[in-house]
Amino acid sequence: MKQLAVAAEMYAADYDRKYPPPGLRCNDPSEPDGSTGCAAGALTREGMRYGYAETWQGGGLSVLFPYTKNPGLFWCPTQVRNWNAAYTDPRSYYAGFEWLHSPDRPRYPDRKVLLMEAYSYHDGKSPRRFDDLPRARRRVNVAYVDGHVKSTDLSTGCSGSRHPDCAGWESSLGPGGNGHYISSAFGKGINVPDFP
């Protein structure tokens, strides 16, 4: 995750201090990178190609590949391996690129989520992801905008908290007690810490 955070900073340095834009998709990983069906490139794991539906689901990570040259970085080593190419957007990490816009935008870069571990898949029948559990006491690895990575207890964050530093915290789903830290740069939340 640290290497991905460094790659994101390198990308921003090359693109006028902007993170990967929204809209990057790979709807058909059977098509080659750069094609109509997979314009932003697929994520590969153990020789299998995986698609994703949006930047935050993997598209932002796929464009970081030139800065890493290592496809293994994009998958958590402890993640389950029972997926197949039929899953449309399996991933190991959520990325906050399209809500953060730039590494220079958040007022608290050391407390604002850039990447977060997320066990997630969608096969059209049984979507699962652990950050849907509101304020669940669960430790996950988080990469922050300033580049540091640490194991973080989600229950200590601003989602649903009355901590004074959390005033104005807002996720992409609007204000309230939900666990969507990764999109907390939405609206008024951009200059509010995720974890006070």
What are the tens digits of pLDDT across the range 76-99? 877 655 555 445 456 788 899 989
Q: What's the burial of 117, exposed, middle or buried (CB within 10 Å: 0-12/13-18/19+)?
A: buried
Tell if the pTM clears 0.75, that is, is over it.
Answer: yes
Alpha-carbon distance of 98 to 77, in angstroms, equals 25
pLDDT at 74 exceeding the cut of 90:
no
Alpha-carbon distance of 73 to 193, in angstroms, equals 27
Q: How many CB atoms lie within 10 A of CB 97?
A: 29
Q: What is the pLDDT of residue 142?
A: 92
Q: pLDDT (tens digit, 9 = 90+) per residue, 42-73?
A: 988 878 888 888 888 888 999 999 999 888 88
The residue among 46 and 18 whose pLDDT is bigger is 18
Handedness of CA 35, 37, 42, 45 (dihedral sign): negative
For residue 186, the 8-state DSSP code is S
Handedness of CA 8, 14, 18, 19 (dihedral sign): negative
Segment 104-111 shows an average pLDDT of 95
Q: pLDDT (tens digit, 9 = 90+) per residue, 166-195?
A: 888 888 766 655 566 777 888 888 999 999
Residue 82: closest CA among 136, 36, 119: 119
Q: What is the pLDDT of residue 137?
A: 56
Segment 107-129 shows an average pLDDT of 72
